Amino acid sequence: MTVIEELTLTMAPDRVAAYLRRDAEVWTRFLESCDGFLGKETWIPNDRPGTVVLIIRWASMEHWRAITPEQVDAVDREMGGLLPESLACCSYTVV
C-alpha cells in the first residue's frame, strides 16, 4: 500500500525561499534516486509564515524505511545552514 510521509517544518519566514530552492536541489534529487519514491509535493500554509509542509509518497513503508540514518545525515549536511528550526513527522497509509 502507498504510504504518505508528512513533514512539517518551521523556520524564519525570510529563510523559506532559500530553503525551498536548496531542498529541491538536494533532498528532492536524493529522493528521486530511492526505490519506491513516488513523488513529493511542497505545501506552504497561507496562515502560518515560516511553515513548510512536505508530502512525500512511497510505494510502501519498507521503501521509506530503507533510507538509513547515515543517508539522512549526509543529505542534511548538503543542505548547509538551511535546516529547519523544527520538524514534525507523521505518516499515513492510503487505502
Looking at residue 78, which CATH number applies to its domain? 3.30.70.100
16: left (phi over 0), alpha (psi -120 to 50) or beta: alpha
Q: What is the span of the domain harbouring residue 70?
A: 3-93
The confidence score (pLDDT) of residue 42 equals 98
Nearest one of 30, 82, 75 to 56, comparing CA atoms: 30
Q: What are the helix and strand counts (H, E) for the chain?
A: 4, 4
Place of cell 545525515: 73
Q: How far apart are the C-alpha atoms of 46 and 57, rounded to whole Å?
A: 23
The confidence score (pLDDT) of residue 90 equals 97
Sequence-distant (6+) residues with CB within 8 A of 22 are 79, 80, 82
pLDDT tens-place values along the chain, 95 residues long = 899 999 999 999 999 999 999 999 999 999 999 999 999 999 999 999 999 999 999 999 999 999 999 999 999 999 998 999 999 999 999 99
Structural domains of the chain, count: 1
The confidence score (pLDDT) of residue 56 equals 98
The confidence score (pLDDT) of residue 95 equals 92
* pTM: predicted TM-score of the whole model, two decimal places: 0.93
The confidence score (pLDDT) of residue 41 equals 98
The confidence score (pLDDT) of residue 43 equals 98
